[in-house]
Amino acid sequence: MKYMFASDIHGSAYFCRKTLEAYKKSGAARLILLGDILYHGPRNEFPKEYEPKQVLSMLNEYRNEIYAVRGNCDSEVDQMVLEFPMMADYALLVLNGRIFYATHGHIYNKEVLPPMQPGDVLIHGHIHLPVAEPMGDGYLLNPGSVSLPKGGSPNSYGILDEHVFTIYDFEGSKVKEIAL
């Protein structure tokens, strides 16, 4: 099965639209949001078309297709308007026979690992950088940021297609890829 991962929308209606267009085009079964959905955060500039109300409206249309975790910029107020659960600090997902520990990255990350076993995947956002690399006996993935990329990286998202994780920019170019 195919799954799409996106992180750090930060209230950008422009990049939320682009994310949903990529999701529809990909044929993915689910859209997995790795936090920082509506608010831009005090350390970030306003993203392009900062319109959190438009973002929540667009995402609520896909409420039955979204799995989400809470980012450091997300709050209970956000949960009051979003029609899918998003307040968990992490989600354990079994995708294509592999355990994915999905989180935002501000609590669990490469330096502070969650409980993992060989072959498990830690996937998070938060750092706004695309990552696809082996980590010990498992894997570390980050789809990058759809709205506020850092370090010269492009606006990006990830697609898990069977046992291959690929990070794409919104022009459809591969940024990184790893076989799991």
Task: Domains for the chain: give ranges and CATH numbers.
Answer: 2-179 (3.60.21.10)
Distance CA 19, CA 26 (A): 10
* Contact yes or no for 90/69 (Cβ under 8 A): yes
Predicted pLDDT at 10: 97
Is the entire prediction scored with pTM above 0.95?
A: yes
Q: Please report which confidence band the pLDDT of residue 43 belongs to, taking 50, 70 and 90 as the band edges.
A: confident
Predicted pLDDT at 3: 98
Predicted pLDDT at 45: 85
Distance CA 1, CA 44 (A): 35
The dihedral over CA atoms of 88, 94, 99, 101, expressed in degrees to the nearest 10, equals: -20
Q: How far is CA 105 from CA 71, 110, 112, in A?
A: 8, 9, 9
